Amino acid sequence: MPDKQRFALDIETISTTEDPDFNTPEHWIPFAVVVGHLNDSRSEPEVEVIFREDSSIRAEARMLNETIDWIADRCDSKNRELLTYNGESYDIPILKHRAREIRSVEPGLNIVERLVLLLETATHTDLILKMKDRNGYWTSLDDALDEFDIDADSPEWMGRKVTGADMPSMGLELMSDRPNADLRRAVTRYAASDVGPLFELHDCLSQSMKS
């Protein structure tokens, strides 16, 4: 039997409006995509943060193409399982919307078809839904990890803990023409902390359902 090919995905975004709605894909633009991969032959996941280098549509297209390439290089298309946390309602709709926007501006960039193929050849497990089934209420990722005593990185910036609320302003700064290696490292650590633990959380949830 071939190895189970699990990969995980999360996006870090900036908003396009002053009052963004998390359920409206048009209100968000990704400045980084975080991907992880783990199969049965590895003990720790491989995690990569793929950044958009500037605000141009071509830079966004390169980021999405690199994401798809990264996953395709590691996962058998016949045996993929995609893990997300709230990906069904947030990450996946935004990525699909942005792929369509890229095509409308640059018809020659083949993002839509590549993204659809990637998603259609994977079984998607949204772990926030598994937590909802388990607890009967919505649970943040931090609380889900705490529930199973799963460690996650907690980077700091300017003397305080980085949170998801910091990502839009940090993302805008990273896409500017003012390079900041320390800021990039802090964002990389935070973004990776949203993906690396998903594999262990998936294992814990799967085991709890059996017991």
Question: Mean pLDDT, to the nearest integer, of 183-192?
Answer: 96
pLDDT band at residue 1, thresholds of 50, 70 and 90? very low
The closest of 196, 9, 168 to 87, measured between CA atoms, is 9
Q: How far are the Cα atoms of 8, 44, 127, 170 from residue 207, in angstroms, in the given order?
A: 19, 18, 13, 37
Give every CB contact of residue 117 below 8 A, 6+ residues apart in sequence: none
Residue 210, pLDDT above cutoff 70:
yes
Instruction: Give pLDDT, residue 178.
Output: 84
**Distance separating alpha carbons of residues 93 and 90, to the nearest angstrom:** 6
CB 70, CB 1: distance < 8 Å:
no
Give every CB contact of residue 22 below 8 A, 6+ residues apart in sequence: 89, 90
Residue 10, pLDDT above cutoff 60:
yes
The tokens for 49 are 């943060």
pLDDT band at residue 108, thresholds of 50, 70 and 90? confident
Question: Mean pLDDT, to the nearest integer, of 13-22?
Answer: 93
Q: How far are the Cα atoms of 33, 95, 148 from residue 68, in angstroms, in the given order?
A: 10, 11, 31
Neighbour count for residue 41 (Cβ, 10 Å): 6
Instruction: Give pLDDT, residue 43.
Output: 78
**Distance separating alpha carbons of residues 33 and 44, to the nearest angstrom:** 20
The tokens for 30 are 């990704």
Model confidence pLDDT, tens digit, residues 111-142: 999 999 999 999 999 999 999 999 999 999 99
Model confidence pLDDT, tens digit, residues 69-103: 999 999 877 889 999 999 999 999 999 999 999 99
| β-strand partners of 46 | 37
Give every CB contact of residue 129 below 8 A, 6+ residues apart in sequence: 88
Residue 144, pLDDT above cutoff 60:
yes
